[in-house]
Amino acid sequence: QACRSGANTGIGKAVARDLARRGARVILACRDQQRAEAARQDIVKETGSSQVLLMQLDLGNLQSVRSFAENFLKSESRLDLLINNAGVADRGKTADSFGLNFGVNHLGHFLLTNLLLDKLKASGPSRVVTVSSITYKMGKVDFSCLTTHRDVALGNSDRDAFIKYCHSKLCNILFTYELAKRLQGSDVTCYSLEPGMVNTEISRHGTFFTQVIWTLVGLLFSIDVDSGAQTILHCSLQQGIEHLSGHFFSRCAPLMNMEPKARDDATAKKLWELSETFCGLS
């Protein structure tokens, strides 16, 4: 049984299709129900699977995350794999007045994972896979800005939105790093990864300028979605990597030369505790 956020387009859809083809029961957790239903029908048609389901999830609304978790726990008996894939690179705020990139890319997934942890533990061996980005190298965690402005940085330009995206991707890695520590002794492992520069619709809600920039970068440097899905599938399915829980993967291999800020124990712990406070878990 696999649950995926952001599964109605791009690499999310490609991974869902692969898992369905392997016989998994796949839950597509998506905000846009119309697009998600079209994706679900495509996957069913391509794989012949009758075990592809759709559930409503808006990661930019913490109440939606709670409702999704409540409905999932009522309807599903197990959870073997949780893939945190949804991501945005845009300006604006979430329904809870957090910066959009931080709120969707990190905080929504943080709450979702925590609400489903008991089910993951009961279903072990199980995994949590979180899609990050190599752009974490340009990221930082400004706790003063987070506590004061509920965002990872100030500014509302297209450039600011990209920088905030980078910050949120560092948060993804620190979240996984801390989660691995907290899961020690359980039968749940976790991994973060960068799928490569995949030509997806990540900027589809952005300004025209943002969409042009992402499109040009995609055309020049991107790989196709099926190639981009491979590292996600590796972290989800590959046997023998359990001892690498908490690591960051690229091209189906763990990166051992991570920048120190992505392996900072104090920062990871503080981000976890602040995220708990923001989500009302502490």
Name the pairing type of β-strands 253-254 and 248-250: antiparallel
CA distance 229 to 18: 9
Residues with a catalytic annotation lie at: 165
CB 5 within 8 A of CB 84: yes
Omega before 125 within 30 of 0, i.e. cis: yes
Cα-Cα-Cα-Cα torsion 91, 68, 7, 213, nearest 10 degrees, comes to: 0
CB 120 within 8 A of CB 114: no
CB 54 within 8 A of CB 99: no
CA atoms within 13 A of residue 108's CA, in its CB half-sphere: 36
The residues facing 223 across adjacent strands are 198
SS3 content of the chain, % helix, strand, coil (to 5): 55, 15, 35
CA distance 154 to 236: 35
CA distance 168 to 135: 10
